[in-house]
Amino acid sequence: MCDKKKLRAFIHLVLVVFAFGLAPSFSQLSESPSLGIESHDSKAGLRGSEADPVNAQQATPHTFTQLPQLVDITGSTSIKFEHLSSPEQKYIVESMSGGVALIDYDRDGWPDIYFTNAQSVEMALAGKKARSALYHNNHNGTFTDITDKAGVGYPCWAMGAAVGDYNNDGWPDLLVTCFGGVVLYRNNGDGTFTDVTRQSGLSNDSGWATGAAFGDYDNDGWVDLFVSHYVALSLSNLPSFGSMKTCKYHGIDVQCGPKGLNGSPDNLYHNNADGTFTDVSKKASVDDPQNRFGLTAVWSDFNNDGRLDLFVTNDGQPNYLYRNDGDGRFTDVAYLAGVAVNQDGAEQANMGVALGDYQHNGLFSLAITHFNDEYTALFRNDGKMSFSDVSYASGIAPATTAYVGWGDAFFDFDNDGWPDLLLVNGHVYPQVDSLDITAKYREPGLLFLNQHDGTFKNISNLVGPAIQTPQVSRGMAVGDLFNDGRLDIVIENLKGGPMILQPQGGPTNHWISFALEGTKSNRLALNARVKAIAGDLVQTGEVLSGGSYLSQNDLRLHFGLGSKDHVDRVEILWPDGKMEVRSNLAADRFYTIKESE
Amino acid sequence: MKTKEGIGLLGIIFFFFFLRSLQCASQSAASRPQEIAAHARQAQEFLKEHRPDLAIPEFRAIVALDPNNVDARGNLGVLLFFQGDYPAAIPQLRAALRLRPTLWRMQALLGMAERRTGSSKSALADLEKAFPKLREEKIQIEAGMELIEIHTAAGDLDKAAATVSALRSLYPTNVEVLYASYRIYSDLAGEAMLSLSLVAPNSARMHQVMAHELEKHGDDEAAIRNYREALKLDPKLPGLHFELSEMLNASSVAAEQQEAEGEYKAALSVNQFDERAEFRLGDISSRRGDVQEAYAHYSRAVQLQPNDAEANIGLAKVLMLMNQPDRAEPLLQRALQLDPTSVAAHFRLSTLYRQAGRTADAKRELEEYQKYKEMKEKLHDIYHDMRVKPAKQEGDETDVRK
């Protein structure tokens, strides 16, 4: 009986299968899946066991002889984008942009890329704009610039982007954060977008918006929107380069800020389910009355209580971790949870954020990038809304202190079934090169390999020269660009062109990928979780809007499987709290799973 | 250093003393002639009306009738002192003291009056005699300040330092005392530097002093040069390697940072009991992620100086890394006994308690952390606003981004 149910479920599974070397195409095999082959009335299976945060799985010794190499394939992709930047970066607004988004805008199953762009102050004062760019994935390793047709070239003085389906029409929409508010592009489903900022009620957002993330905090099936804001800055009254003590770095003149300038409050917009939003920041108590310098924001249910919490980084100031109290209100518990400041109680720069279950215990930890002389902070989620700064214990900290970190991501670089950690770097002051100090303007990226025991190994110099090439990097997004079962990396650099890094060679490990579609839950299934169990390999992933540094990763959930050629069991926890289960799924395939009605 | 407010407060003190004395005078009036009693009553009335100018003649009348009336002499001296009539106050105060030598406050006032009339020698003698016996804060501070001024004017900075040291131990938060302390020790440092430059201008110590001065003025490069020069002259001079390594360790120049570790080790080779060098080597090992080496250095630092709060915190940190919270906790508690304002210790302890599920304790420590952090940030802002490089403090950072 049970086997029959499983078989039926498998047939009804919305699934497209393709193997390496085949020309893949995503299509939905079943429009009306009758799921519920296996019911699961407890969330505990997916939520992870808080009582036993230490992973019980056997750690596998790692060898470094067969690591994939990260190869810079930008030249072969036909991507010609260049982020604009002034040579001297005299103003802080010129050094904080560069978010990048992966968005499958045409739902063809291949991630497309949206690069944000930002003008210099000089350009802005002269009335000139910077052109952002949307590149369509041609399914053959190349991309085509379709920005003009799509109508997303000149949203604003762009900082970053996030993806969410605000109107639940199934087409992913694009939210661009700007120096001067946000721009919401509605995806028309025909390769074009319409700027609906005003009609959606978001045009009142006029501050320097940085991080943005969609998430359905009230579980009504419609994604809400959080926007963090950075410095209160006006083009008509910019602080002069080197003019104050807070505009000096090692004795030389540099851009002013953020210290010494005023911050801007943050905003939470509730989705009214009719194409409009209402500002509920104050009511929800996430309005940042202290005007901290907000950067990246991410939604996730950190304490596994079924309600979305919100994490917001603040530059040089304590972070916010807003616990969702369930009544439309939030409480900042960042200090009590141990994620406001570092292990010694000191604020850090708090640029980018990565979420990952790097210990395989079903709990999502946070990796936060920082300024040089600080360190990338890894806050291990111990459960019950308590985190530990394990940056040193995990082996992350020492290698990161020399650099200014931005975009970061947990992703399974070698498909061994364990999330590794990648971060990109680049200083904020070009003038730093005139100093006889360790820090340089262009800095290499860093890749840490998960050692399966709570620690990481810095393998940056073992994966080829591309990642070691010094850049002034900012945004970073991860996704399987070429649907070959390996996660690629898109890095947006503040100066010059982007980098597309592709893992090549190494072990031929298995993998599996899931695209989720909500029905009762929000259509993009943001914050749905998938637990993939393959023998003793138990992994959990979550569909996230925003994150990294003002960037957007591929919404599909990818799991490396090592030598496992199938997944025994997959548990999907939808945002509305419902659990669905699939069993015995073959590896090396993409699966689309639609939430049962 | 003396202020009008100080004099005013002193006046209040003496006013109470004066009233008490009047009560005594009234009690003894029954055995005195009626005339003395009448003058005393009249004097009391005038004082109640805040008319010391009218009370003074009444006391003069009593003294004329009874020259050995100690209370009348004393009160007259006090009133004349606060009227600013020091020449007239002095004989009255001296007479009171002759009649009752344990009137220490009278003697302090006498010293002050003598100083104002140019009798520095007598003033010094009276103030030195009275100062150790005084018990009331205001008169004690006032007398001490007078003494310090006399010593400083005479170029006797050591005696001035001794006096200010006594005052600081009694009144560590008094603004005037703190300022006097700052001035005297600054002057002493300047005097010592001048003497050193005269007696040993090319010595290692002279270069060391110059390095300190240059560092104070933000010229780190020149300071490091002087430390190196000092080391050339005397590589085994105690403290030299450590001071150089401190500068190198704080440098942003990669080569200098790398050199710091070697200098700390050199400091240990010169003095194997150099606890601060051990502590810093623990920091360096910790930053490098070498837990075992950090543990060894911090352990030795605590062994050498169990009362170093920072060393206790360092060892606690590495024990936390080694997942030994039970051993870390008492070290953090000890650190807080030694330095209750340690932000890092409060925060670490809060973390330990949170991880152990001791929520109430964790919250308490978090509140302490936030209290002291706010306090220290205010302090930092004061220095920042005044554009002065602060003394070394926890988490001290100077660049905009930090």
Sketch the domain layout of chain B as residue ranges.
307-386
| Cβ atoms B99, B73 nearer than 8 A | yes
- Other CB atoms within 10 A of residue A332 CB: 20
The DSSP code for A552 is: B
User: What contacts 24+ positions apart, CB below 8 Å, involve A282-288?
Assistant: A283/A328, A283/A329, A284/A217, A284/A328, A284/A329, A284/A330, A285/A322, A285/A329, A285/A330, A285/A331, A285/A332, A286/A226, A286/A310, A286/A312, A286/A320, A286/A322, A286/A330, A288/A228, A288/A229, A288/A263, A288/A264, A288/A312, A288/A320
| Cβ atoms B139, B126 nearer than 8 A | no
What value does the mean pLDDT take over residues B327-345? 98
Which chain A residue has its CA at the smallest distance from B344's CA? A344
What per-residue confidence (pLDDT) applies to A24? Answer: 35
| Cα–Cα dist A252/B309, whole Å | 35
Show the low-confidence residues of chain A (pLDDT under 50): 1-61
Token pair of B192 as six digits: 């010592």
Element housing B387 (H / E):
none
What value does the mean pLDDT take over residues B175-182? 96
Q: Is B252 on the interface with A (CB under 8 A)?
A: yes
Answer yes or no: CATH 1.25.40.10 is held by domain B307-386. yes
End-to-end alpha carbon distance in chain B: 38
Whether B363 and A336 lie within 8 Å, measured CB to CB: yes
B393 has pLDDT over 80? no
A53 CA: distance to closest CA in chain B (Å): 12
Q: Is B355 on the interface with A (CB under 8 A)?
A: yes
Q: Which among A316, A345, A395 is the nearest to B401, CB-wise?
A: A316
Q: Which residues of B touch A249 (CB under 8 A)?
A: 399-401
| Percent of chain B whose predicted confidence (pLDDT) is above 90 | 81
Residue by residue, what is the 3-state secondary structure of B176-228?
HHHHHHHHHHHHHHHHHHHHHHHHCCCCHHHHHHHHHHHHHCCCHHHHHHHHH
What per-residue confidence (pLDDT) applies to A65? Answer: 62
Whether B354 and A386 lie within 8 Å, measured CB to CB: yes
Upstream peptide bond of A258 is cis (omega within 30 degrees of 0)? yes
B351 CA: distance to closest CA in chain A (Å): 7
Whether B401 and A256 lie within 8 Å, measured CB to CB: no
Whether B400 and A341 lie within 8 Å, measured CB to CB: no
B339 has pLDDT over 80? yes
Number of helical (H) and strand (E) elements in chain A, helices listed first: 7, 38
Q: Which among A316, A341, A438 is the nearest to B254, CB-wise?
A: A438
Whether B400 and A335 lie within 8 Å, measured CB to CB: no
Helix (H, G, I), strand (E, B) or coil at A244: coil
Q: Which among A345, A388, A393 is the nearest to B344, CB-wise?
A: A345
Residue A279 is which amino acid? D
Best residue in A90, A343, A379, A457 for a mutation probing chain B (most B CBs within 10 Å): A343
- CA-nearest of A463, A499, A497 to A481 is A499
Contacts of B169 (CB under 8 A, 6+ apart): none
| Cβ atoms A214, A166 nearer than 8 A | yes
What value does the mean pLDDT take over residues B132-160? 95
Query: How many whole angstroms from its chain centre is CA A282?
Result: 26
| Cα–Cα dist B135/B144, whole Å | 12
Contacts of A352 (CB under 8 A, 6+ apart): A295, A296, A313, A368, A369, A405, A406, A407, A408, A423, A476, A547, A548, A549, A550, A551
What per-residue confidence (pLDDT) applies to A41? Answer: 31
What per-residue confidence (pLDDT) applies to A37? Answer: 28
The shares of helix, strand and coil residues in chain B, as percent rounded to the nearest 5, are 80, 0, 20
| Cα–Cα dist B89/A262, whole Å | 61
CB pairs A-B closer than 8 Å: 82
Using CA of residue B252, residue B253, residue B255, residue B256, what is the dihedral sign? negative
Best residue in A335, A378, A403 for a mutation probing chain B (most B CBs within 10 Å): A335
Whether B370 and A335 lie within 8 Å, measured CB to CB: yes
Token pair of B39 as six digits: 């003058």
Whether A254 and B400 lie within 8 Å, measured CB to CB: yes
Q: Which residues of B touch A371 (CB under 8 A)?
A: 401-402
What per-residue confidence (pLDDT) applies to A317? Answer: 97
Whether A392 and B321 lie within 8 Å, measured CB to CB: yes
| Cβ atoms B107, B97 nearer than 8 A | yes
Token pair of A436 as six digits: 């006889």
What per-residue confidence (pLDDT) applies to B227? Answer: 97
Q: Is B349 on the interface with A (CB under 8 A)?
A: no
Beta-bridge mates of residue A136: A144
What value does the mean pLDDT take over residues B318-336? 97
Using CA of residue B35, residue B41, residue B44, residue B49, what is the dihedral sign? negative
Best residue in B252, B317, B380, B387 for a mutation probing chain A (most A CBs within 10 Å): B252
- CA-nearest of A289, A294, A144 to A226 is A294
For residue range B23-81, list pLDDT tens digits in order: 544 444 446 678 999 999 999 999 999 999 999 999 999 999 999 999 999 999 999 99
**A406 backbone dihedrals φ, ψ, rounded to 5°:** -130, -105
| Cα–Cα dist B310/B394, whole Å | 10
Using CA of residue A82, residue A84, residue A87, residue A89, what is the dihedral sign? negative
Q: Is B386 on the interface with A (CB under 8 A)?
A: no
Whether B348 and A246 lie within 8 Å, measured CB to CB: no
| Cα–Cα dist A276/A184, whole Å | 11
- Other CB atoms within 10 A of residue B391 CB: 8
Between helix B4-28 and helix B34-48 the angle, nearest 10°, is 150
What per-residue confidence (pLDDT) applies to B255? Answer: 87
| Cα–Cα dist A157/A171, whole Å | 25
Q: Is B116 on the interface with A (CB under 8 A)?
A: no
Whether A398 and B289 lie within 8 Å, measured CB to CB: yes
- CA-nearest of A575, A581, A578 to A522 is A575
A472 CA: distance to closest CA in chain B (Å): 17
Give how far Cα A198 sits from Cα of A160, A170, B106, B167, Å: 19, 21, 83, 69
Q: Which residues of A touch B345 (CB under 8 A)?
A: none
What value does the mean pLDDT take over residues B19-24? 49
Number of helical (H) and strand (E) elements in chain B, helices listed first: 20, 0
Token pair of A471 as six digits: 């850049």
| Cα–Cα dist B269/A315, whole Å | 43
Q: Which residues of B touch A428 (CB under 8 A)?
A: 401
Whether B401 and A349 lie within 8 Å, measured CB to CB: yes
**A533 backbone dihedrals φ, ψ, rounded to 5°:** -115, 115
Whether A388 and B355 lie within 8 Å, measured CB to CB: yes
């109680």: which residue's tokens? Answer: A345
Q: Which residues of A touch B382 (CB under 8 A)?
A: none
A510-517 and A589-594 strand pairing: parallel
> How does the average pLDDT of chain B come out, rounded?
89
| Cα–Cα dist A228/A163, whole Å | 15
Q: Which residues of A touch B402 (CB under 8 A)?
A: 259, 316, 371, 373
**DSSP string computed for A404-435:** -EEEEEEE-TTSSSS-EEEEEE--S-GGGGGS
